[in-house]
Homo-oligomer: A and B are copies of this chain.
Amino acid sequence: MRPSDYKTKQKEIILNFFIQNKNRHLTASDIVKYINSNEETVGTTTVYRYLDKLVNNGIIRKYFLDEKSGACYQYIDENHKCNEHFHLKCIQCGALFHIDCSYMQSLDEHIMNHHGFKIDNSRTVLYGICKNCGNKK
């Protein structure tokens, strides 16, 4: 539970990037790209290893939103609770929408109360056609 943990520049950069992007999902390659587009450099291996550590320590959350782009990570902001909303994914253009409304929360409750099933919002994605793509037809 308390993995010896030296302070290094690389770790600081990665963790800061998460904190600055509390509301976004970040992939490992997002992080690598961001770092290398700045002045600093952090190896891909280090990113993965530190990500793993952050997940195990409960600092960030890992999930699998999209088939293609691999794992997503997000800072666990106690104030924001991004795990309490749903995601809509357009099967045409691929856009991902975060949807956070009270209706969806009551869906959770309905499924729990009437079907005995506890939805894991961080894993769940609703697929369909978004407004833009629907209008194009």
Q: Say whether A127 contacts B123, CB under 8 Å.
A: yes
A114: chain B residues at CB < 8 Å are 101, 103
Which of B62, B91, B107, B115 sits near A120, CB closer than 8 Å? B91
**Residues in A97-137 with C-beta less than 8 Å from chain B:** 97, 99, 101, 103, 107, 110-111, 114-120, 123-131, 134
A47 at the interface (CB under 8 A from B): no
Type the 1/0 row for A71-93, where 1 means its CB is closer than 8 Å to any CB of B: 10000000000000000101100
How many monomers of this protein are in the complex?
A: 2
Q: Say whether A117 contacts B131, CB under 8 Å.
A: yes
The smallest C-beta distance from A48 to any residue of chain B, in angstroms, reads 13
With both beta carbons as reference points, the residue of chain B lying nearest to A107 in the complex is identified as: B107
Beyond contacts A118-B128, A118-B129, A118-B134: 20 other A-B pairs, Cβ-Cβ < 8 A, are A67-B71, A88-B115, A88-B117, A88-B119, A91-B123, A97-B115, A99-B115, A103-B107, A116-B130, A116-B131, A117-B131, A119-B126, A119-B127, A119-B128, A120-B128, A120-B129, A123-B128, A124-B125, A124-B126, A124-B127
